Structure 1
Amino acid sequence: MELLLLTLFLTLFSALSVSSTQTIVQGFPTLTPQTSLSVEKETDFLISPNRTFSSGFYKVGTNAFCFSIWFTNSLNKTVVWMANRDRPVNGKQSQLTLRKSGNLVLTDAGGSVMWATDTFSQGQVEVRLLDTGNLVLVTNSENVIWQSFDYPTDTLLPTQLLVRNTTLVSMRGRGAYLSGYYKFKFDDNNVLNLIYDGPMISSIYWPSTLRETVFYFGRTPYNSSRVAFFNERGRFRSSDNLKFNASNFGVGPKRRLMLDYDGILRLYSLDGATGLWEVTWQPGGVDVCKVQGLCGPYGFCRYNPLPTCSCPYGFYRIDLSDWSKGCSPRFNLTCNSTTTNQLDFVMIPNMDYYGYDLNTYGLGLSFESCRNACLIDCKCQGFVYSLDGKGECFPKRTLLNGFQMLDLSRVAHVKVPRDIVISHKGKVLNTTSDLNCSAAEVMVSSGGGSGISGGGEDTKRNGFMKLLISFVGSAAIIEMVCIGLGWWFVLRKHVHEELVNMGYIVLALGFKRFTYAELKRATLNFKQEIGKGGEENEYNRLVQFVRQKIKQDMLVEVIDPRLNHAYSDGKLETLVKVALMCVGEDCDTRPAMSKVVELLSGDDEKNIDDKEGDN
């Protein structure tokens, strides 16, 4: 009886919930003269005939709303257009009104006009939201006197035209709906471009104009009609000959072309069952970390594993919610003829700041000559030196467009007061403040203040102990996993692949956090020189990559730079060798936990060398 009552209650509750939801999403088909939509009424919104799109007040912040259009059935109401993205209205007493004159007006709590269509009609006008997502003002003779398709924000919908006078403008950041600094538009040469238009500078970053012209990509600047669009099947065509299709080309899913806040243009398709979006196209050859202006002045982008903005040591992030504002120094940099001996450089390996060179000092220039030239030049904020053997020196008047890649054979040097620089055995180290605010990253980020604390033997010992504890803990987990995977081998015969995967995890925990992009480069796109390749080979190549760095005496390149070199080189080498033993292909040859402790204690160094030599 109790079960029956519970079932009836749940059924009734579900029915009421559905009924309530249906009431909420009813919406209005049109807005007629001298009627309004109120920000305070959740049911005050327009809806398209097939219910694909809704239009009403969308919350963009605390007590801040924008009149918007969104996909009705997408998760979290994906917005495709905003009337007042840079001038949100109050959450009380704000309203959208169609005046008798034919003008659609958005007013704030005090009656101030925050946005309007500036239209006029002697006949009667009504507002409709079409099935295409286009909000229109239509006269009684069915003439459209205004449409939202002529004023896009960051999104293009199927059949919506992008022409010479329209521009897609990105959001400022994730969840920040203010206009950002990235634009997608036709330039004066009739070519569609992705443009960074920041507070200080403006530049085109796609298509590439460095080594290839638009002709290289099959584009043409000779058609001055300047029109682009894509259809419901996912086919994009432009007058400059830019062509692409969605990867799921065909009639079916709802689509949108969006210029994201990170400066990348992406075509999305909606999964009707989940309400989630899938990327079905984005420009080839555009690396997120190479999008100009992404991390602002002094900042640089790296994969961790997602694109993350960081600051050089001695700098702090200006705005935690806005990457583009970059980093600011924690010091006052005084530069004149009497202070140059008080200046030095923070070094960031595998790093470049693209553009804004003072000049190129030429090929074959020694590092010291390059360094000294920047040191005495007060206009030089830093320099980038190439390690490809050509001796290229790039002094920078502005440090923008920074990006760090594992395979980049350049080193960036940022000018700072000498007391900021951390030195160890004559080397200037890479010290960064990670801008990723996840809990794991906050713990390892650089602290406040402009000075450097710690150092000496205590710092070395502490750094090594942290590394040792981290590794031993990881090794213990690996040993337990090995036991479990042994049973898995008996049951499913997949132990080899899983153990190799866990070997990669050991490397990732103990050493530098390699990104997918870095692994792809380090392993030659996971390619195997002999054989068919396969998933297992990704990790084999990573292990070989680390072993090669040991032979080249370049261990520093695989160690997480946030350790600030606060460890003993000898103990580090021991630790790495033991780690490589623990990721051997044959599980039976991997040392037990007790043996790991013995090896790390330094009592069996000969055994380490012998085993490593066998590999």
Structure 2
Amino acid sequence: MDSHALLLLLSLIIHFSSSVSDSSLKEGSYLSVKDVLESPTGVFSAGFCPVGDNAYCFAIWFTEPSCSRDDCTIVWMANRDFPVNGIRSKLWLQKTGNLVLTDAGKYIAWSTDTVSPSSTDLILYDTGNLALQNVEGVILWQSFDSPTNTLLPSQRFTKDMQLVSSRSRTNFSSGFYKLFFNNDNLLCLLYDDSKVTSIYWPTPWLVSWATGRFPYNSSRLAFLDTLGKFTSSDNFSFVSADYGVRLQRRLTIDFDGNLRLYSRKKGNNATWVVSWQALSQPCEIHGACGPYSKCSHSPISGRRCSCLPGYRVKNANDWSSGCESKFYISCDNDTDQFRFIRLPHVEFYGHDYGVYPGYTLEMCRKLCLSLCGCKGFQHRYIGDGMWPLVALTNNIRQNVIPSLCYPKILLLNGQRSPSFDGQFYLKVPKTRLFSDKENFSGLGLNCSTELHRPLNRVYQKSSQNEKLRLTLWFAYALGAVEIIGILLVWCFLFSSEKDLNEASQGYHHPAITGFKRFTYSELKKATGNFSVEIGRGAGGTVYKGTLPDNRIAAIKRLNIANQGQAEFLTEVSTIGKLNHMNLIEMWGYCAEREHRLLVYEYMEHGSLAEKISSRALDWRKRFQIALGTARGLAYLHEECLEWVLHCDVKPQNVLLDSSYQPKVSDFGLSKLLKRSGDLSCSIFSRIRGTRGYMAPEWVFNLPITSKADVYSFGIVVLEMVTGKSPAIGGTSTNGEGEELQRGLVTWVRQNKKNGGESWIEEIVDPILEGDYDKGEMEMLVMLALQCVEEDKDARPTMSKAVEILLHRKQYL
């Protein structure tokens, strides 16, 4: 065959394999980096957008008015956290009905995981929706169901969705801010980095009715219409400043954390205009300036960040890193070594030791001096007109002095506002000279605008000599034309799907790239062939190991070998995002063939079960363990984005670090063990938990809610206070042969009923030898008894339990 005939054959094959219509992609076809889909009237386009040097993301953007591909307004991205190479990367619509984005033809960066027995098309509509549908018109997947940072008119926003901001103006990877429906069915804005999460809109310290929201709904649905009106099921709504005119519109959570509605007229010179925004004061957005800094705003200079006196900036190019201390504070109880710098009109939201109503300024100062970790305190006198509302909102008696004291364990979300009439007092050492009038004006907010994002993968080059390969290829082509043609067609039709499946085995789920993925051989070596067992339970066996970087780790070998790799990676990504000081920290995982392992930090003092009758646990440590455990469970139930029920709260799953601070472990195993259903009212396929700590609803096959964990927490507290196991008094029966262990609870209640004023002394662990606060002990036992009520509705939430323990003086 001559060269002209060969080129004709190759061009026919290429045309057959990559033909694309203007607004749809046919089954068996693909889009290359240079190809673009356009909606029928050209309002939207879909294709590969450059996000760095030779790095691309598949995206949808506005193309009316016209724009170049690197400066268009992007409304959706498929692989924002996993950009692909500009060479040989393709978006395939396979004959199986699966839409797959390949990275350099070797790795799967993203897919819809859809299957269809009939033929499918990928269609871009004028609404901006990219839909995968079969010949019957059934939508198998659509971009409207998985938004990134933008909501378009006619796009429904539901309880299963969230908008996530970009990292910066030119870095499109996932940022720190999210819009979602919280557990109270309210539409909220959340700041969420690797260490801290906090809701900042609506006003977090107000109850829902004070913000005009309605939590008593189950639909959790929001919608933006084409005229500029937004409505939500929680009674929140707004209209744009240009309501009633049909314009291009988009609701976007920007990289700075503000939610804005943009509108634009059609035309080449039209620009986007902000027609509504959630917060008019940008300093109210949490995380804007990072820890130990304060935010200030003026209409001229905009938002600015500055460090507190005695602190210096960590990274002037990214203020989200905050500031660090120039001094060191020791904990030797010498209160004379400190003084306070008064910062008027400055406040820090959250991270309080507690709320202390009725405290004078001097009382608040002495309180902060007595707390080693106190970084400063907020003090504010409330006017008589506002005090009844503040007292009611914070559950405070109205007959105390109308003032509030907030000692701070961390200084986050700081802002200076002339309208704020409170004062902040910064704790600094007397030995350092920090002027009370020192003005740290700081630098303007400088978010990183670095566009370059090189790919963090290495593509192996062929070891074969290129010239030799071409020579052999032409020799085979000239010598065996028919065979070559058959092989080319066969390779294209049959081998591409095989290559994709093989590449998927090495695919690292983009949501969990923050963890280290260990091989099974690495963990086998780290544990000495799993020789040192330190714990065992229904979920698996825990071994002690030493990682290659010499960190001591606890490595859990899970009993879920039948779970698929993709499902396991998805569940691990959810668990890994949960971050709290009272939850065990996960360092990595292994998902290799049938092996499923999790790698955790190692706790020096083991579990609470090992220490529960030890003299090492004095009264103060036991109280702090109860408080820390309650905090960890409250975070799982109410603060993290995806609710998690523990389902097996017991002393063996409460671990103690070097300072005896508790960390709840195994908090994700109920999810890894294929839990199904809505977490607020799950019906489990089988009983989970440990005998003696299980709530009655497990036995009676009732809906399982977070109150099941509350019951188990109550049993753990009673066991820790008394030093006795849950079954000391035997068992009772439900009438159908099911035994319920109620021994410890019954014994404590009988002592309370018959023991008179000394009943607490009768039940307290003798190893404490009477060295405890009787009032606090009684309050803790009463809380535990309330947690183990038979009726789950009579039990408090874990957040209420935390509130009682933190503000125990009010309950004595």
The equivalent position to 1:61 in structure 2, one of 21, 44, 52, is 52
Residue of structure 1 in register with 2:225 after alignment: 231
Residue of structure 2 in register with 1:73 after alignment: 64
Residue of structure 2 in register with 1:201 after alignment: 196
Q: 1:56 to 1:318 in 2, by over 3 A?
A: farther
Offset at residue 78 of structure 1 (A) = 0.7
User: What is the letter of the counterpart of residue 323 of structure 2?
Assistant: C
Tell me if structure 2 keeps the 8 A contact 1:264–1:282. yes
Tell me if 1:356 matches 2:351. Answer: yes
Residue of structure 2 in register with 1:241 after alignment: 235
Tell me if structure 2 keeps the 8 A contact 1:68–1:83. yes
Residue of structure 1 in register with 2:303 after alignment: 307
Tell me if structure 2 keeps the 8 A contact 1:294–1:301. yes
Offset at residue 31 of structure 1 (A) = 1.6
Report the secondary structure of 1:215's partner residue.
helix
Q: Unpaired segments of 5 or more residues in structure 2?
A: 1-19, 384-401, 448-812
Tell me if structure 2 keeps the 8 A contact 1:345–1:428. no
What per-residue deviation string (whole Å, max 9, x for no partner) do you get for residues 524-576 of structure 1?
xxxxxxxxxxxxxxxxxxxxxxxxxxxxxxxxxxxxxxxxxxxxxxxxxxxxx
Residue of structure 2 in register with 1:399 after alignment: 411
Residue of structure 2 in register with 1:17 after alignment: none
User: What is the letter of the counterpart of residue 419 of structure 2?
Assistant: D
Supply the distance in 2 between the matched residues of 1:63 and 1:333 (Cα, whole angstroms). Answer: 46
Report the secondary structure of 2:320's partner residue.
helix
Identity of aligned residues (%): 42
Offset at residue 422 of structure 1 (A) = 2.8
Residue of structure 1 in register with 2:178 after alignment: 183
Supply the distance in 2 between the matched residues of 1:323 and 1:147 (Cα, whole angstroms). Answer: 37
User: What is the letter of the counterpart of residue 440 of structure 2?
Assistant: T
Tell me if structure 1 keeps the 8 A contact 2:44–2:126. yes
Normalising by structure 1, report the TM-score: 0.60
Tell me if structure 1 keeps the 8 A contact 2:346–2:414. yes
Offset at residue 54 of structure 1 (A) = 0.9
User: What is the letter of the counterpart of residue 443 of structure 2?
Assistant: D
Residue of structure 2 in register with 1:590 after alignment: none
Supply the distance in 1 between the matched residues of 2:250 and 2:180 (Cα, whole angstroms). Answer: 16
Offset at residue 38 of structure 1 (A) = 2.3
Residue of structure 1 in register with 2:78 after alignment: 83
RMSD, aligned α-carbons: 2.8
Residue of structure 2 in register with 1:222 after alignment: 216
Q: 1:415 to 1:167 in 2, by over 3 A?
A: same
Supply the distance in 2 between the matched residues of 1:391 and 1:191 (Cα, whole angstroms). Answer: 30
Offset at residue 300 of structure 1 (A) = 1.9
User: What is the letter of the counterpart of residue 50 of structure 2?
Assistant: K
User: What is the letter of the counterpart of residue 27 of structure 2?
Assistant: P
Normalising by structure 2, report the TM-score: 0.46
User: What is the letter of the counterpart of residue 61 of structure 1?
Assistant: G
What per-residue deviation string (whole Å, max 9, x for no partner) do you get for residues 1-21 of structure 1?
xxxxxxxxxxxxxxxxxxxxx
Q: 1:245 to 1:413 in 2, by over 3 A?
A: same
Offset at residue 353 of structure 1 (A) = 0.7
Tell me if structure 2 keeps the 8 A contact 1:348–1:431. no
Tell me if 1:292 matches 2:286. Answer: yes
Supply the distance in 2 between the matched residues of 1:280 and 1:313 (Cα, whole angstroms). Answer: 38
User: What is the letter of the counterpart of residue 308 of structure 1?
Assistant: R
User: What is the letter of the counterpart of residue 205 of structure 1?
Assistant: Y
User: What is the letter of the counterpart of residue 249 of structure 1?
Assistant: Y
Residue of structure 1 in register with 2:38 after alignment: 47
Offset at residue 227 of structure 1 (A) = 1.7
User: What is the letter of the counterpart of residue 52 of structure 2?
Assistant: G
Tell me if 1:412 matches 2:412. Answer: no
Supply the distance in 2 between the matched residues of 1:223 and 1:153 (Cα, whole angstroms). Answer: 25
Q: 1:163 to 1:418 in 2, by over 3 A?
A: same
Tell me if structure 2 keeps the 8 A contact 1:311–1:435. no
What per-residue deviation string (whole Å, max 9, x for no partner) do you get for residues 125-155 of structure 1?
2211110000111212222111000001111
Offset at residue 380 of structure 1 (A) = 0.5
Superposition map of 1:156-171 within 5 A: 156-171=151-166
Q: Unpaired segments of 5 or more residues in structure 1?
A: 1-25, 439-615
User: What is the letter of the counterpart of residue 234 of structure 2?
Assistant: D
Residue of structure 1 in register with 2:139 after alignment: 144
Tell me if structure 2 keeps the 8 A contact 1:53–1:71. yes
Report the secondary structure of 2:51's partner residue.
strand
Superposition map of 1:85-100 within 5 A: 85-100=80-95
Residue of structure 2 in register with 1:29 after alignment: 23
User: What is the letter of the counterpart of residue 51 of structure 2?
Assistant: V
Q: 1:233 to 1:437 in 2, by over 3 A?
A: closer
What per-residue deviation string (whole Å, max 9, x for no partner) do you get for residues 283-338 of structure 1?
3x653211223222212211143122222244344445544332233x35242217
Report the secondary structure of 1:173's partner residue.
coil
Supply the distance in 2 between the matched residues of 1:290 and 1:98 (Cα, whole angstroms). Answer: 45
Report the secondary structure of 1:289's partner residue.
helix
Runs of 4+ displaced beyond 6 Å: 387-391
Supply the distance in 2 between the matched residues of 1:380 and 1:34 (Cα, whole angstroms). Answer: 63
